Amino acid sequence: ETGVTQTPRHLVMGMTNKKSLKCEQHLGHNAMYWYKQSAKKPLELMFVYSLEERVENNSVPSRFSPECPNSSHLFLHLHTLQPEDSALYLCASSQLGTREPNEQFFGPGTRLTVL
Amino acid sequence: GQSLEQPSEVTAVEGAIVQINCTYQTSGFYGLSWYQQHDGGAPTFLSYNGLDGLEETGRFSSFLSRSDSYGYLLLQELQMKDSASYFCAVTRGSARQLTFGSGTQLTVLP
């Protein structure tokens, strides 16, 4: 256990559905991240929140909408997804403002299948 | 933009030493990290180099040359449990964002 939990672990949804992924970190960290991991591709950084402010949005389609209500929780709201969005979605957290390396702690991921 | 190159696959036998190389192109570089990911698992942090040179952590060592935009992960006394994917990642930006390489699948044979 890394101290980062994600729910659900598996999700199957149709292209017209709306669903949300949840991430919670129990480490007291001040930064949280969403990554997408597709087969045969590197982990892709989607969103970064530092002190609950969005720092980066890597040209992610608007059908993905993040929300960070507090430093411990991060959501990824999904709507009208495409089959190519099927992937493992990983959440991570880290403590910024301390000495490097500011390692990131990953949750187990949500395996998303879009039909 | 950022890009990282690392071999896609490496195979070695138990007890051997293996080196996984990583070259990168990036802006706003703070350091190079290495993560391990077993099948079905989450990536876990292994090592970080913010300065040139070698960092040693038990059986694992990592090296960085900033002038060459190059680093490597060295795994010694390989064990079967080391079979996994290994990712290099550049650390950049105010939130220490990670940009990952495509990963190296290490297979350790008995």
Name residues 33-62 of chain B within 8 A of A (Cβ): 33, 41-45, 48, 50
Taking an 8 Å cut-off on Cβ atoms, the answer to whether B95 and A106 are in contact is no
Taking an 8 Å cut-off on Cβ atoms, the answer to whether B98 and A104 are in contact is yes
Give residue-wise pLDDT tens across range B1-52.
Answer: 778 999 999 999 999 999 999 999 988 888 999 999 999 889 999 999 999 9
Taking an 8 Å cut-off on Cβ atoms, the answer to whether B43 and A102 are in contact is no
d(CA A2, CA A5): 8
The three-class DSSP label of residue A83 is: helix
End-to-end alpha carbon distance in chain B: 41
Tell whether B79 is within 8 A of chain A (Cβ). Answer: no
Tell whether A55 is within 8 A of chain B (Cβ). Answer: yes
Number of A to B CB contacts under 8 A, please give it: 72
A43 vs B91, B96, B100: nearest CB = B100
Give residue-wise pLDDT tens across range A11-56.
Answer: 999 888 899 999 999 999 999 999 999 987 789 999 999 877 777 7
Output the CA angle B14-B18-B24, nearest 5 degrees: 150
Q: Collect all residues with Cβ–Cβ distance below 8 Å to B1 and sequence separation of at least 6.
A: B25
Tell whether B29 is within 8 A of chain A (Cβ). Answer: no
Residue A36 has phi, psi (to 5 degrees) of -115, 130
* Residue A67 Cα distances to A15, A24, B19, angstroms: 21, 12, 40
The three-class DSSP label of residue B71 is: strand
Is residue B86 predicted with pLDDT exceeding 80?
Answer: yes
* Residue A60 Cα distances to A34, A46, A66, B94, angstroms: 11, 6, 10, 19
Worst-scoring range by mean pLDDT, A80-84, A95-99, B54-58? A95-99
Please, what's the b/e burial string for B15-37 (b: 16 or more CB within 10 A of its CB; e: otherwise)? eeebebebbbebeebbbbbbbbb
Taking an 8 Å cut-off on Cβ atoms, the answer to whether B48 and A103 are in contact is yes
Taking an 8 Å cut-off on Cβ atoms, the answer to whether A102 and B45 are in contact is no
Taking an 8 Å cut-off on Cβ atoms, the answer to whether A42 and B96 are in contact is no
Give residue-wise pLDDT tens across range A45-88.
Answer: 999 998 777 777 778 999 999 999 999 999 999 999 999 999 99
DSSP labels, A22-35:
EEEE-S--SEEEEE
CB A89 within 8 A of CB A107: no
